[in-house]
Structure 1
Amino acid sequence: MAEAENIIIKDTLDGLGTDAYSDYLAHALCLAGSCRLKYNGEERELQAGDLMIVRKGKLVERIRPADDFRVKVIYVTSEFIVLSTPLSNYGVKGQLALFRNPIMKLDAGQRELCRRDFEMVEARLAQTDHHFRRDLLIASVQMLIIDFFDFHSHLYGVDNIPLQSATIMSRFLNMLENGTYREHREVNWYADKLCVTPKYLSEVSRKISGYAANYWINRYTVLDISRLLRDKSLTFVCISDLFGFSSPAYFSRYVQQHLGVSPTEYRG
């Protein structure tokens, strides 16, 4: 894949959450104005000076920018993020926190540093004749990520997460982000793939994120189901089959349990 495809720079949030950017992480710096959006089922507002990092674009809905809204967005593929992420287990904590709230409120100094980081990536991306362009871009994205870690740690503090625990949690979440929950929703299955016991996986998950492993499995599942339920071209039977439910009745009970309403009521 060409580097121009690994990194895409835009000045609008149009397309965020669509299939066009399904394999990209979005990093959006609000330059002016504000934008309201729904993320992970909750209303959020991106304001001037805020940094928003979205790992899973499908969590974003109903983007409503104000007339004076200006933004710079850097999309980076998941593969290139892995290449560019420094050897630190802090990223796992940040990943979990950003899943719950993707918006960071930056102070004036952080805002200026972030703006310069964005400009550096854009400038380096334009250097198409650089003989070491791939390494150059990895280095520029890594600087961006290191500063993001620093911003986040100032907001939320730094936890001393053991490397083994961080690795297990990261692999667990990566499986969920890849959609394995559509076929597998048992903690035992994930524990087996990670070569740990179900009890240990849940203990690690609870220690790092505050939630047991089963919470994350159901959270990813419910968010995906709710997105599909909003697509009225899909029948309930079709959605049930996509997730491997044994029957539409079982699917209906699952939706009722986790969304508080039946599929019919949710679709309205």
Structure 2
Amino acid sequence: MAETENIIIRENLDGLGTDAYGNYLAHALCLAGGCRLKYNGEERELRAGDLMIVRKGKLVERIRPTEDFRVKVIYVTSEFVVLSTPLSNYGMKGQLALFLNPVMKLDDAQQEQCRKDFEMVEARLAQTDHHFRKDLLIASVQMLIIDFFDFHSRLYGVDNIPMQSASIMSRFLNMLENGTYREHREVNWYADKLCVTPKYLSEVSRKISGYAANYWINRYTILDISRLLRDKSLTFVRISDMFYFSSPAYFSRYVQQHLGVSPTEYRG
């Protein structure tokens, strides 16, 4: 195994979803066997030849690999991914689609290309005496990302996303990923921070992701709440307070509306 501050290579999914890789994006290529896991509240399966990209490890739970499961994983810090991402707005659409489903089914040619990309990053990572090592690693990770864009666009199609729309959506999602939804769940609040109207923010969100802005606010919120509800050391009142609900009763109604069960029923 080789690793550096910005890139870590592993041959298992141990630690995915834990604080150990909290600031890393995981890129996992399944080489053999399979693995079931819960992601974003839904069951997913990673099979031989599949590529899985996880931006937010906390969305991953209950990893159950088969006995013959083999995988190669490249973890890259968020900051290094930003440095390595090509000048294309396609990444925004890909980011949103992977939030909903992190697994891409690759055909034989794509699998071979992906294996070569992984091997290139690993080989370059081993070149510790290279005089331009950081630039070398940025270039190798960028090649990886460009091929990911190509794989994804062939699955979901290519949309020309205007620079302004991509910037607004990126800033909106960054606020949500930073946990702003715990205190603010109104589209108006986010629109004000982004200096646009609520209608425009929702139109941009719908055009890029297929969902209105309110969907993403509630999605991030309920995923966080459901994670906390599984921690039985936290009372419902405590969780309600963490999200600034006006009362435990309102918190209970929110959970019922978005999870289909009450907090008590969800906790079991």
Q: TM-score, normalised by structure 1?
A: 0.97
The amino acid of 1:184's aligned partner reads H
The corresponding residue for 1:104 is 104
CA–CA separation in structure 1 for the residues paired with 2:202 and 2:267: 33
> What is the CA–CA distance in structure 2 between the aligned matches of 1:247 and 1:79, rounded to whole Å?
38
Partner of 2:135: 135
- 1:247 corresponds to which residue? 247
Q: CA deviation at 1:63?
A: 0.5
Residues of 1 paired with 2:41 and 2:70: CA distance?
Answer: 24
**Deviation string for 1:68-102 (max 9, x for gaps)?**
00000111111111111001000011111111111
3-state SS in 2 of match to 1:225: helix
Larger displacement relative to structure 2 (177-186 or 68-77): 177-186
- In the aligned structure 1, how far is the partner of 2:22 from the partner of 2:236? 24
d(CA) in 2 for partners of 1:193 and 1:24?
Answer: 27
Alignment of 1:1-268 (within 5 A): 4-268=4-268
Q: What is the distance in 2 between the residues matched to 1:247 and 1:109? A: 55
Runs of 4+ residues deviating >6 angstroms: none
Alpha-carbon distance between aligned partners in 2 of 1:135 and 1:242, rounded to the nearest angstrom: 42
- Provide Cα deviations, 1:187-217, integer angstroms capped at 9, x if missing partner: 1111111111111000101111111100000
Report the RMSD for the aligned CA atoms in angstroms.
1.0
Residues paired across the two proteins, number: 266
1:16 counterpart letter in structure 2: L
Separation in 2, partners of 1:152, 1:160? 14
| AA of the residue aligned to 1:74 | I
Q: What does the per-residue CA deviation read over 1:93-136, in whole Å, with 9 as the maximum and x for residues that have no partner?
A: 11111111110011111101101111111111111121111111
How far apart, CA to CA, are the structure 1 residues paired with 2:189 and 2:5? Answer: 35
1:182 shift after superposition:
1.1
Unmatched 5+ stretches in structure 2: none
Distance 1:11 1:81 in 2: 20
Kindly provide the CA deviation profile for residues 30-58 of structure 1, in whole angstroms up to 9, marking residues without a partner as x: 00000011111111110000000011111
Work out the CA distance in 1 between the residues paired with 2:41 and 2:121: 31
Q: Which moved more, 1:156-165 or 1:219-228?
A: 156-165
Unaligned runs of 5+ in 1: none
Q: Distance in 2 between matches of 1:18 and 1:33?
A: 23
